[in-house]
Structure 1
Amino acid sequence: MHFDLADLRLFIHIAEAPSLTQGARRAYLSPAAASARIKALESQFNTRLLYRDSRGTELTSAGQRLLEHARLIMRQVDYLKSEFTDFSDDSAGHIRIFANTTAVTEFLPEILAGFLAKRPGVSVDLKEKLSRDIVRGVVDGSTDMGIIAGPVTAPGLQILHFSTDRLVLAVACAHPLAERTQVTLEETLAYQHIGLNEGTTLFTFLRERVEQVGATLSVRIQLSSFEAICRMVEAGVGIGIIPESAALRHRQTMELSIVELDEPWAVRERSILVRDLEALPGCVRALITTLTK
């Protein structure tokens, strides 16, 4: 079996694009040339990889499997190039990160600012993802590393614990719950909540916890940051479940009360997920060292 890296990269472009034409454009090929290369790949593997029609392309089950392997192969090629750039120095390279809401909005920006300021040759692609998508991205090679909170089920991946946070209830100082030291999730459901936007990791997690107790979360407004949530809470608009680290920081400038959540899932272990730490480029390993030290 013989195929070259250019064919695998072309296949990835087509699989990630709405159509063969757009995938070919990303690979700087004509649609006819791209189609011929894909047919040659299918001949090599002796199976159909794509369904093609007027609406675009769709991967077959064999094509989905090839996409997973192709991504891993191309990532390893990128790692090889990076390792031999400055001979494994961590001063150059590209890092792809899938992370949850708290990581993206709370602590990663500050950490990355200091990390990148010392390494002008390093670039970062940071994307907020749901926990299941973070795990899947590390498994299939879509990302170099994942940052996740809470219990992790990730067979075959290395899990590196680096910090602990907890979810708490933020309320206005005059709120009826402000005098409580602890409160359960069910007790908070009698009040309107202020949450993050739909699709964020934390909002999805909380909604699932509410559904588990057979209730519905009454959301008055959804916002894009913990700071915005705290400002609404301070104004008496509603209550919000947020990370303790964010609540403590914003309490320094706002009139907020913090109430402990009496729930086993409130304590959140933060972990880094990787396929193989030693196989990662120097710049990725350096960032992981920065996070875990």
Structure 2
Amino acid sequence: MHFDLADIRVFIHVAESSSVTQGARRANLSPAATSARIKALENQLGARLLYRDSRGVTLTPAGEKLLTHARVILRQVDYVKSEFAEYGSGFFGHVRIFANTTAVTEHLPEVLAQFLATRPAVTVDLQERLSREIVRGVLDGSADIGLIAGPVEAQGLEVIHHSTDRLLLALPEGHKLAAKPSVTLAETLDYPHITYREGSTLFDLVASHVENLGRTLPMRIQLASYEAICRMIESGVGIGIIPESAAVRHRKTMRLVTVPLEEPWAIRERSLLVRELDGMPGCVRDLMETLRSG
């Protein structure tokens, strides 16, 4: 069985865009040529890869399986290119990272800045994703490295402890809860909350535990950065649950009080996820080492 890498790339474009026309545009081919390449793959595999209807295309079970393998195959090809390019141009390569909200906004920017400053030929694609998407992305090869907080169930991946963070309740000075040594989630629900935007890992975590209490999260406003959340809290608009790493930074410039959140899920272990680290290109291995030591 012989696979043409060009056919595999075309298949990925179509699968990711859920459209033959859009996939053809991304591949710089006509829709007819794109359909012919997909048909050739189906004939070689002896399996239907796509369901077609008026809204576009969706993957069959065989198509889902091929997409996972196809991503891994093409990333391995990219790895080989990167490894051999390093012989001619020194540090070279591209790394894609999927990480949770806190890592993307608070931790990784500083680490990546130091790493990239000495590697001008390395590029990084950093994407904020939910925990399940991070695990799936590393498993299916669409990400090289994952950084996740909380328990990890990821067979087939190397899981490396990175750091420990905890969630705190941030309050304006003089708030009724500010003098307490610690607070439970239930105690915070009598006050308006300033939250990270809906769909973020932190929002989903807090919302799920509020739901388990049979309560509703009293949201006052949702924002897209911890700095903005802390500004609102400082002004007395509400209170908010934020990571300790963000609280430490913003307490230096804002009048904030933080109180430990007395919940078992408030202490979160951060883990690095990677698939077969020894088989990764040098730039990925170097970045993993930087992350592990940082």
Q: CA deviation at 1:184?
A: 0.6
Q: CA RMSD for the aligned pairs?
A: 1.3
Q: CA deviation at 1:55?
A: 2.1
What is the distance in 2 between the residues matched to 1:59 and 1:197? Answer: 31
Structure 1: which 4+ aligned runs deviate by more than 3 Å?
87-90
What is the SS of the residue equivalent to 2:148? strand
Which residue pairs with 1:108 in the alignment? Answer: 108
What is the SS of the residue equivalent to 1:86? helix
Q: CA deviation at 1:32?
A: 1.4
State the identity %.
66
- 2:223 aligned with 1:223: yes
What is the distance in 1 between the residues matched to 2:10 and 2:263? Answer: 49
Q: Equivalent residues in 2 for 1:172-211 (5 A)?
A: 172-211=172-211
- Say if 1:75 and 1:175 are closer, same or farther in 2 by CA, change over 3 A: same
What is the distance in 1 between the residues matched to 2:90 and 2:125? Answer: 16
- 2:248 aligned with 1:242: no
What is the distance in 1 between the residues matched to 2:272 and 2:95? Answer: 14
What is the distance in 2 between the residues matched to 1:157 and 1:265? Answer: 23
- Say if 1:89 and 1:106 are closer, same or farther in 2 by CA, change over 3 A: farther
Which residue pairs with 1:35 in the alignment? Answer: 35
- 2:120 aligned with 1:120: yes
What is the SS of the residue equivalent to 2:194? strand
Q: Is the 8 A contact 1:195 1:221 kept in 2?
A: yes
Q: CA deviation at 1:192?
A: 0.9
Q: Is the 8 A contact 1:197 1:223 kept in 2?
A: yes
Q: Is the 8 A contact 1:95 1:283 kept in 2?
A: yes
Q: CA deviation at 1:128?
A: 0.4
What is the distance in 2 between the residues matched to 1:88 and 1:191? Answer: 60
Which residue pairs with 1:150 in the alignment? Answer: 150
Amino acid at match of 1:213: L
Q: TM-score, normalised by structure 2?
A: 0.97
Amino acid at match of 1:214: G
Which residue pairs with 1:232 in the alignment? Answer: 232
Offset from partner CA, 1:71-99 (integer Å, 9 cap, x none): 11111111111111114987110000100
What is the distance in 1 between the residues matched to 2:230 and 2:121? Answer: 37
What is the SS of the residue equivalent to 1:155? coil
Q: CA deviation at 1:110?
A: 1.0
Q: CA deviation at 1:260?
A: 0.7
Q: TM-score, normalised by structure 1?
A: 0.97
Q: CA deviation at 1:141?
A: 0.7
Offset from partner CA, 1:221-250 (integer Å, 9 cap, x none): 001111111111111111010011111211
Equivalent residue pairs, number: 293
Offset from partner CA, 1:259-278 (integer Å, 9 cap, x none): 01111111111110011111
